[in-house]
Amino acid sequence: MYRSTRLFIVGLAGVAGLWGALQSLSPSGAVALGIVTAFTAACLMLAMTREDGQPTWGQAARTGLRWGAGVVASVGLISLLELAGLVVVLALVLTSPKVVTATRRRFGLRAVHDDAPSPTTVASLNSLTWLERPLSSMDDPTLCRAWRMSYVALQKPLALPTQVRIVERRRQFLDELERRDPRGFSAWLAAGPRAAGDPGRYIGHV
């Protein structure tokens, strides 16, 4: 319900903002602002290295389009509604899923990940078999689930040695996944996976 409602409000504000931008900036000005913003956002994304690989060109293009349209719509909305438009833009930014997730992490609240398993308590980390279990004893589904569980564990307030231990374990998981199925592993990376994503959709199926 939250996502549907927010999507409707964002769409409504976006249409109003784009119309306002055409009035205040002129069509050519709005297009120029959108292109410059989109190009800058796409370049910045391609320059950022993520844990699970470089962003793809498709991801960069989609990010650029979102930023380009968002900035043009924001400028138009502020021009159209002035202070009220600024309030609407700030409200939409502060209630975005990424900002909400970052706020939850900052204050130690439980973050929800669409495709990640339920988080575990810090006290039980040492009892998790994926930390010590030999990789050769894990079948593909178990290995993929261990990869996802390790991401969830890293979202906890852990001591630095424990974080390093888990990060090293995740590196081992990646090496093992690539060793078992190089083609599936490459296809997974090419799809632009998230750190909590499930490689099981590609490993052993490509």
- The pair of three-digit structure tokens given for residue 93, joined into one six-digit string: 């930014």
Closest CA to 204 of 185, 136, 172, 145: 185
Query: How far apart are the C-alpha atoms of 66 and 70, rounded to whole Å?
Result: 6
Pick from 204, 146, 134: nearest CA to 174 = 146
Can you give the pLDDT at residue 119? 42
Other CB atoms within a 10 A radius of the CB of residue 129 amount to 11
Cross-strand partners of 53: 50
Tell me the mean pLDDT per 10 residues along the chain, length 206: 71 83 83 87 71 60 83 86 83 74 58 42 55 85 89 83 86 90 89 83 74
Burial class (CB in 10 A: 0-12, 13-18, 19+), 150: buried
The pLDDT value given to residue 106? 60
* Residue 120 phi, psi (nearest 5): -110, 165
Predicted local distance difference test score (pLDDT) of residue 105: 60
Measured CA to CA, the distance from residue 25 to residue 126 in angstroms comes to: 59
Q: How far is CA 104 from CA 17, 110, 116, 122, 182, in A?
A: 29, 6, 16, 17, 36
